[in-house]
Amino acid sequence: MRYTLTLCLVLALGLAALADEKKESRAAPNVVRVGNPAPGDAPVKEVQVSAKKYEYTPEVIEVPVKTLARIHLTATDREHGFELSSIKDSCVKFKPGEPATLEFYADKSGTYEFKCCKVCGIHHGRMKGKLVVK
C-alpha cells in the first residue's frame, strides 16, 4: 500500500514537471529559428519587415555575415508567409495583429531569396525578396 502511494506521488510529480516544461517551450510561440544555430555571442540585427499583397517592405534586407538576423514580420492586409527558399522548413506564417519572428544565423555571405509561403491571392507567386548577407 505504501509502495503504491509513493509510486502515485512520483508519477504525479513527474507529470507536473512535464507540464511545466511544455509551458516553457511555448513561451515564445511566434519565434522560429531556422538554419544553423548561432553562437551565443553572435551579434544580433533586428529587422522589421511588413507584408501586404503582393510585396514585402523592405524587399531587400541586408545583414552582416556572422550575425543573427531577427526578422520581425507583420502583415497589414491578410495572412502572409515568409520562407527562405534555400532553407528547409523555414516557412513562418503571420496574420494582421499576430506578428511572427524568424531568426536566421547568417554564417556565410551570399544572397538568400525569400518568398511568401501562404497562398494569399492571385499574384502570391511574385511575392518575393532578398536577404543579402555580406
Using CA atoms, how far apart are residues 61 and 17, in angstroms rounded to an integer? 42
Comparing CB distances to Cu ion, the nearer of 33 and 124 is 124
Q: Residues 100, 102, 116, 133: which binds Cu ion (CB under 5 A)?
A: 116
Comparing CB distances to Cu ion, the nearer of 5 and 122 is 122
- Contacts from 123-128 at CB under 8 Å and sequence distance 24+? 123/53, 123/54, 124/54, 126/54, 127/51, 127/53, 127/54, 127/55, 127/56, 127/80, 128/56, 128/59
Question: Minimum distance between the CB of residue 44 and Cu ion, rounded to whole angstroms?
Answer: 27
Q: Which of the ranges 12-20, 62-70, 87-95, 115-123 carries the binding residues for Cu ion, by CB under 5 A?
A: 115-123
Residues that bind Cu ion (CB under 5 A): 116, 120, 124, 127
